[in-house]
Amino acid sequence: MSEVVITGWSALTSAGIGADALAEHLAGVDHGSTRASSGVAVSQLYEEPLPSPTGHALADFNARAELGRKGTSSFDRTTALAVVCCQEALRSAALELDDSSRTRVGVALGTSLGSFKSTSDYSRETLVQDKPYLVNPVLFPNSVMNCAAGQVAIRFGLRGVNATIAGGTLAFLNAVRYACNTLDRGYADVMLAGAVEEYTPHRAWASHLTGATAAVAAGEAAGVFVLSRPAPIDMSTGNEARIMSVSTGFGPGGEEQAEQALAGCVQRAVRQAGIDPADIETVLTGEAEDSEDREYGPVARALGHRPRRVLAKRLLGECDAASGAVALAVFLAPRTSDSSVRSGLGLITGRGPDGAVGAAIVRG
């Protein structure tokens, strides 16, 4: 694939809505701290019990306040987070859309399984109602994984390629890879590539019971990046952020095979980006603890050195499908102080429980 330019982006994290809120939050974080942030109080968010009193939720998030009442009443949290994030990303890119350009703007949105809460609540109704079919037809689309991407298209009139990519912890890298292919092949001129994950009792409990949040709190986030091909003659100042390459793969059997596959992805990404691996100064992995080595180990071996590692989920929670998007947002967030983790070249990695792996090289 060829590199793509990031012409705008936004992220919704427990730090708030948008890049500035994230930057402000990061400026206040003690990056030397050995303790993972536990997030904010979440007990008021839902009537159902939660496994932990705190989490990385957007506690004050109100979709109607951001989007108005029209067309939003059926939105579940995943859809609302995605639509608001795309609104902010489009604003950031200052993209001017008309009827003809809208057919050339697409969406690639990563997820784990859409909204597990919407799906499970729908299924629940078939069990607890007097008749199993007494479900709400208006909410049926929310039980399908492509609901959020479809609503993004409706909201902003984006009629180009519209894809929902189910990738679990690899979802964002998968979505970026899909978006880059769409641009490379000329199927679209602009792609909104991102990922979303909601904080609900369903997800919090699933994370808790599977041990995914033993080291960090459960979280929610959306991150969306507006991508396009570089202009044929580069008129830019050279300052805009780029995704230089992304590579994903699979290590059958997991374990060592997955480590080799991840190293292979890093090597391919380096080759495609045409860079010297020594120039990568920052690695943002999906790991939760400094003692972990399941990503950083094979990455460092592939690069031949040990760049600074940033563990975004210690700052912003376990955001599953949105993890990679949060990592890129942390990398790109504007800096005002010397606490910067942003530097010239960054590497974002992911590794799933079954052997799925991926790596992207980004320039800040």
Site residues for other proteins, 179-218, by CB under 8 A, read 181, 184-185, 187, 201-202, 205-206, 209-211
Please count the residues of this chain forming the interface with other proteins, following the rule CB under 8 A.
84
Q: Residue 9 or residue 156: which is nearer to other proteins going by CB?
A: 156
Helices (H), 28-158: 63-67, 77-93, 116-128, 147-156
Token digits of residue 11: 């992220």
C-beta separation of 5 from 193 below 8 A: no
User: Taking contact as CB under 8 A, which single stretch among the options 160-168, 190-198, 235-243, 335-343 is the one that binds other proteins?
Assistant: 160-168
Q: Please give the Cα distance from 225 to 92 (Å, whole number).
A: 10
With CB under 8 A as the contact rule, the residue among 27, 29, 166, 300 that binds other proteins is 166
Show contacts with other proteins in window 70-109 (CB under 8 A). 102-103, 106-107
Q: Which residues of 39-48 are buried (b: 16+ CB within 10 A; e: fewer)?
A: bbebeebeee
CB of 182 to other proteins, least distance (A): 8
Q: Residue 273 or residue 341: which is nearer to other proteins going by CB?
A: 273
Residues in the chain: 364
**DSSP per-residue letters across 265-326:** HHHHHHHHHT--GGGEEEEE-S-SSTT--TTHHHHHHHHTS--EEE-HHHHH-B-GGGHHHH
With CB under 8 A as the contact rule, the residue among 116, 199, 225, 331 that binds other proteins is 116
User: Taking contact as CB under 8 A, which single stretch among the options 7-15, 30-38, 114-122, 295-303 is the one that binds other proteins?
Assistant: 114-122
Show contacts with other proteins in window 216-255 (CB under 8 A). 248-253
Show contacts with other proteins in window 23-52 (CB under 8 A). 48-49, 51
With CB under 8 A as the contact rule, the residue among 87, 92, 143, 349 that binds other proteins is 143
With CB under 8 A as the contact rule, the residue among 11, 15, 83, 165 that binds other proteins is 165
Q: Which residues of 64-95 are buried (b: 16+ CB within 10 A; e: fewer)?
A: eebbeeeebeebbbbbbbbbbbbbbbbebbeb
Show contacts with other proteins in window 296-355 (CB under 8 A). 352-355
Q: Please give the Cα distance from 120 to 231 (Å, whole number).
A: 45
Q: Please give the Cα distance from 139 to 114 (Å, whole number).
A: 13
Q: Does 67 bind other proteins (CB under 8 A)?
A: no
**DSSP per-residue letters across 62-100:** -HHHHH-STTTTT--HHHHHHHHHHHHHHHHHT----TT
Q: Residue 106 or residue 223: which is nearer to other proteins going by CB?
A: 106
Q: Residue 37 or residue 112: which is nearer to other proteins going by CB?
A: 112
Q: Residue 38 or residue 103: which is nearer to other proteins going by CB?
A: 103
With CB under 8 A as the contact rule, the residue among 65, 94, 127, 233 that binds other proteins is 127
Q: Residue 82 or residue 330: which is nearer to other proteins going by CB?
A: 82
Show contacts with other proteins in window 1-20 (CB under 8 A). 1
Q: Residue 170 or residue 345: which is nearer to other proteins going by CB?
A: 170
Query: Tokens 């992995």 label which residue?
Result: 285
Q: Does 154 bind other proteins (CB under 8 A)?
A: yes
With CB under 8 A as the contact rule, the residue among 67, 97, 113, 300 that binds other proteins is 113
Q: Which of 228, 59, 65, 88 is nearest to 152 (CA)?
A: 88
User: Regarding beta strands 190-197 and 105-111, do their DSSP bridges make them parallel or antiparallel, or are they unpaired?
Assistant: parallel
CB of 27 to other proteins, least distance (A): 34
With CB under 8 A as the contact rule, the residue among 101, 122, 230, 294 that binds other proteins is 122
With CB under 8 A as the contact rule, the residue among 38, 52, 97, 150 that binds other proteins is 150
Token digits of residue 234: 């580069």
Q: Which of 209, 203, 215, 176 is nearest to 319 (CA)?
A: 203
